[in-house]
Amino acid sequence: MGVAAADPAATPVVDPPPAAQPVTVPPATFRPTWDLDGTYLWLGPVGAASHLDARWDSTFGADATLVVVRERAPLGLVGATLGASRWTARGGGRVWVDGLVGTHLGRMMGVSLGPILELSELAHPRPGASVGVWCFAGITPFARFGAVSNLGMFAEIGIHIALPVLRR
C-alpha cells in the first residue's frame, strides 16, 4: 500500500539551492586626490584696488576661468578667464578676457594677457589691454598693469577666489 502525500512520514525531495555566484566588483576608477591634472571650470569673486585716472578706487566682481592643469609639465597651466567688475566710487565697471599660462615654481605661478573694456555710465566704452602676474595659493593674488584709451595707464592688485565648479 502507498503512502499519502500528506503523510508526515514522507519526506519531499528538494533540489539543493544553486551555488552562489561570487560578486565581482570592477576596480575603482577614481583618480588619486593628489593628482590635480585635468580641465577645470572655476567661478568666483574677484576684488581689487586699482590706480586709474590719477585716483585709487576698488572694484568687486566675478569671473569664470577655464584651465587645463598639467602639474608635472613645464607649461603647467593653460587657460582663459572672462570677468566683470564694478567700480565702488567712480561708477561704471570693467569687462575683460585674459589668456593664462603658468608653471609650477613651488606653487603654480603665471602670467595673464588680454583686452579690457572700461565701461562708464556717462561715457562710451573705452578699450584697453593688460598684462598681469598671479600665484595660486588656495586663493589667487594678482597684480595687473595696463592701459585704457583716454584714461592712460593703470595698476591693480587684487585677489581672486577660485571655486572649482567642474573637473574633467
- Half-sphere exposure at residue 104, Cβ-oriented, CA atoms within 13 angstroms: 9
Per-residue pLDDT reduced to its tens digit, 105-126 = 889 999 999 999 999 888 899 9
No. of H helices and E strands in the chain?
A: 0, 9
What number of residues does the chain have?
168
pLDDT for res 35: 79
pLDDT for res 130: 97
Q: What topology does CATH give the domain 41-167?
A: Porin (2.40.160)
Q: Is 53 left (phi over 0), alpha (psi -120 to 50) or beta?
A: left
How many of the other CB atoms lie within 10 Å of CB of 52? 22
- Among 5-9, 59-63, 90-94, 151-155, whose mean pLDDT is lowest? 5-9
Spatial distance between the Cα atoms of 109 and 55, rounded to a whole number of angstroms: 29
What is the CA 151 to chain-centroid distance, rounded? 32
Residue type, 123: A
This prediction has a pTM of 0.76
Per-residue pLDDT reduced to its tens digit, 86-106 = 999 988 999 999 999 999 988
Domain range summary for the chain, segments of one domain joined by +: 41-167
CA neighbor of 125 nearest in space, from 94, 156, 88: 94
